[in-house]
Amino acid sequence: MLSLRLLSRDWRGGELALIATALILAVTCVTVIAHFSDRLTRAMQLQSQSFLAAERVVSSSQLLPQVLLQEAKQRGLEQAQSTSFASMLSAGDQFQFASVRAVSNEYPLLGELEIRRSTAGASTKVQHGPKPGNVWLEARLLPLLKIQLGDKLQLGNATFTISAIVDQEPDRSDNLFSMGPRLMMHIGDLASTQIVQPGSRIQYRYLFAGDDRALDEYIRWLKPQLSAHQKVLDLRDGQPRVASALDRAEGFLYLAGSLAVLLASVAVGLTARRYSLRHTRYVAVMKSLGAGRKKIFQIYCGQMATLAAIATLIGLLLGSLIQVYAVMLMRDFFPVSPPPSSLLPTLTGIATGCACTLGFALPPLFRLAHTNPMQTLNRDWSNPDRREWLGLIVGPSSMLLLIWWLSGSLATTAALLAGLGLLIVGSALINRLLVHSKLANLGGSWRIALGSLQRRAAFNTLLIAAFGTALLTMLAMTFARTALIDEWQMQVPEQAPNHFLLNITSEKLEPLRTLLEKKQLATSDFYPMVRGRLSAVNGTPVRERPQRANALNRELNLSWSSTLPDGNRLLSGSWWDQIDKGVSVEVELAARLGLELNDQLRFSIGGLEFEAPITSLRSLDWNNIRPNFYMLFAPGSLKNFPATYITSFYLPPEQKLFVNQLVRSYPDVSIIELDKIIQRIRDTINQVSIAIETVLALMLVAGVLILVAGVRASIDERLQEAAIIRTLGGNKRLLLQSLVLEFGLLGAVAGLLGAAGSEITLAILSAKVFNLPFSMHSALWLTGPLLGILLVGTAGTLSCRSAVSQPPLKVLRGLS
């Protein structure tokens, strides 16, 4: 009862409110992130599975041996199969190139197809493909072939009835570069078409689903038996680009969340310290009245436990509400309603509340319980700092354990530990330099300000470290967020190319260019393309070389360019301004094939042999949406070979019908439509950005809390000194100047340390967490100290304004 009464009465003092706010903030932050991550991960899992139409897929350019499929059956796994290829369709005198997919009865194992039985009808979801003798078409094919639902069409040697329009298939994005509009058929009809012949370019997909353990075991058994042109696709292959954005976002969120917890904890620690100092007198009185150490600890622990429990509950509630809002924002991204959170996020929130309270709020109270009751008689209310070490060990230790748990990364935790250690050592050194500087010789307010800093040198070191930590995290996370979101936006800028045109012949090049220009559609360059196979390296046939890669099993798109295309970076060798022949090879492919500069490559193009030395190695930005080539030749090198061209362009959604015009006017040109996928990626990125900014905002609030807590932690002493100076004749201006100088100096030093720390942190984050290129941030070094002076100076001066504005007697009475 007594502890609850003291809790309600002490609320007015402000410290408990600040501790509660910091705890709420920490728990909210962690709960939001944990909920978000938990639901996101599980939704991603569901979504990826539906993007794959299965839990695992084996993709192959050859039929998979029956023995492998038989094994899956014996292990009780569900199976489905699909076969994809490009082929010409005909209906009457109309012809159209289409992307054909033949599926088995079991397709899809996961996810649903959306079909329409009439042109104007609504889509319905089904979990099967067309029946034998029937085909389903993409709507665009109907006007192109001038046919209706129910009509017949010819595919190879067989005739089929068009029974539905297929609007959506779960794993359509599995092959972005599937050519042309979709035709879906039953796999049993494939033989009757007589299209698939030995040597045909076919993509076989074997879909599997079933018990997780059985599936994992089967895939483990299967993998060693697959050849280089067969690969297993799992969850994250469903949408690699989105997965990578979400991975980074998750990394950022957990890091920002951990730092917000760290900041909030420091705020809790500083405030609890002041609370403990202010309560030294009460405890001495209670002890003199017969309260023992245990009783005092019981009273204050009861008080803090109640406060922590209420704050944790509020934090959990707020966290849940915010995550519901975040998931609602991202609902378009999820194909199905994301599954409800597990219990883990709530447990994480509770653990955070406990860690903050146990690590940061209780050690000062522990010290409080050791107050000497003799203090009631000698009226010395200073709390001897004999047990300050306890807080300095217990707090950071519990926090590092929590961060380790949250981030799951020992490297991140170690980096933070090292950063904090450096910050404290740096604070102590700079503080020492400052108080021993000649600045005091400037007299007046400088002497008062430096004198004040000197008197509290030990605590100021802690304060600078706390302010520095706050500024470090605020700066680092703001800069990281900018870099991260900018990078994403750069990958899919507003008008990123969303359509590709392939197989453009030389004759069609100019008319097509003119048409696109007339429509005012921004295109990337038209890149020439010659299809050829790498046949030998330095005279050794590739099939005899130890290094194998998919690229050796198929024809490569060879191109040439006078300039280094956007997103390409020359890593070694020379570009064509210095030499006029040779080939530039993408560096990762070169590594896989064991290729080095000056190696002589032999290509087989249309039965003709062609040789070129490797003159440079390039890196490619695979994330940008534009034509990219493994092999780029010097202009003119491939002039004797027939080339087609490729380009990409941005088509605004309102001009989508232009695609039909293109298909009709240029039937031999292949069109790849990426607009829906790009839009989905962009939406996801925007929504994840909102999540990041929400957490960042929470973290910035935690940073500001530290500033307030830090200033308030030493305010009583400062107010007392200021009142005494005024009583002794110091004028308001002198006092105000000294306060501004004192807090300004603290802020500047903290800002400088914060900037240095941020730069190091950003370097580590760029390399280890976000995989982004690192560059120095000159703006940090200016922003850090300025922000420090502004925030700490303002918060400090405002908090101490009563020392200047009120009569000194009132200030002293208020303190007693």
Q: Which residues bind other proteins (CB under 8 A)?
A: 1-2, 5-6, 9-10, 12-13, 281-282, 285-295, 372-374, 376-379, 816
CB of residue 377 to other proteins, shortest distance in Å: 4
CB of residue 307 to other proteins, shortest distance in Å: 15
Nearer to other proteins by Cβ, of 1 and 728: the residue is: 1
Paired tokens of 809: 């007697």
Nearer to other proteins by Cβ, of 772 and 812: the residue is: 812
CB of residue 369 to other proteins, shortest distance in Å: 10
**How far is 678 from 692, CA to CA, in rounded Å?**
21
Nearer to other proteins by Cβ, of 6 and 590: the residue is: 6
Q: What interhelical angle do 444-455 and 457-491 show, nearest 10?
A: 90
CB of residue 708 to other proteins, shortest distance in Å: 22
Asked if residue 745 lies in contact with residue 806, where contact means CB atoms within 8 angstroms, the answer is no
Nearest to 628 by CA among 550, 553, 569: 569
Paired tokens of 745: 């100096």
Amino acid at 183: L
CB of residue 799 to other proteins, shortest distance in Å: 21
Nearer to other proteins by Cβ, of 7 and 681: the residue is: 7
CB of residue 272 to other proteins, shortest distance in Å: 17
Asked if residue 247 lies in contact with residue 689, where contact means CB atoms within 8 angstroms, the answer is no
Nearer to other proteins by Cβ, of 159 and 298: the residue is: 298
**How far is 239 from 677, CA to CA, in rounded Å?**
9
Nearest to 190 by CA among 230, 162, 160: 160
Nearer to other proteins by Cβ, of 66 and 816: the residue is: 816
**How far is 162 from 150, CA to CA, in rounded Å?**
5
**How far is 106 from 762, CA to CA, in rounded Å?**
50
The answer for 150, left when phi > 0, alpha when psi is -120 to 50, beta otherwise, is left
CB of residue 40 to other proteins, shortest distance in Å: 46
Nearest to 761 by CA among 431, 466, 412: 412
Is 722 exposed, middle or buried, given 0-12, 13-18 or 19+ CB atoms closer than 10 A? buried
Complete DSSP assignment for 516-538: HHHTT--B---EEEEEEEEEEET
CB of residue 717 to other proteins, shortest distance in Å: 19
Nearer to other proteins by Cβ, of 224 and 290: the residue is: 290
Nearer to other proteins by Cβ, of 217 and 380: the residue is: 380
Nearer to other proteins by Cβ, of 98 and 301: the residue is: 301
CB of residue 388 to other proteins, shortest distance in Å: 18
Asked if residue 208 lies in contact with residue 77, where contact means CB atoms within 8 angstroms, the answer is yes
Nearer to other proteins by Cβ, of 339 and 373: the residue is: 373
| Cα 251 off chain centre by | 6
Amino acid at 223: K
Element (H, E) at 405: helix 388-407
- Angle at Cα 408 formed by Cα 313 and Cα 754, nearest 5°? 85
CB of residue 765 to other proteins, shortest distance in Å: 46
Nearer to other proteins by Cβ, of 13 and 807: the residue is: 13
Complete DSSP assignment for 20-87: HHHHHHHHHHHHHHHHHHHHHHHHHHHHHHHHHTSSEEEEESSPPPHHHHHHHHHTT-EEEEEEEEEE
Nearer to other proteins by Cβ, of 13 and 642: the residue is: 13
Query: Where are any strands of DSSP class E within 129-168?
Result: 134-137, 152-155, 158-168
Nearest to 50 by CA among 123, 140, 144, 114: 114
Paired tokens of 228: 């280089």
CB of residue 403 to other proteins, shortest distance in Å: 36
Nearest to 408 by CA among 254, 598, 615: 254
CB of residue 14 to other proteins, shortest distance in Å: 13
Nearer to other proteins by Cβ, of 231 and 293: the residue is: 293
CB of residue 375 to other proteins, shortest distance in Å: 9
* Structure-token match 């209310």, residue found: 381
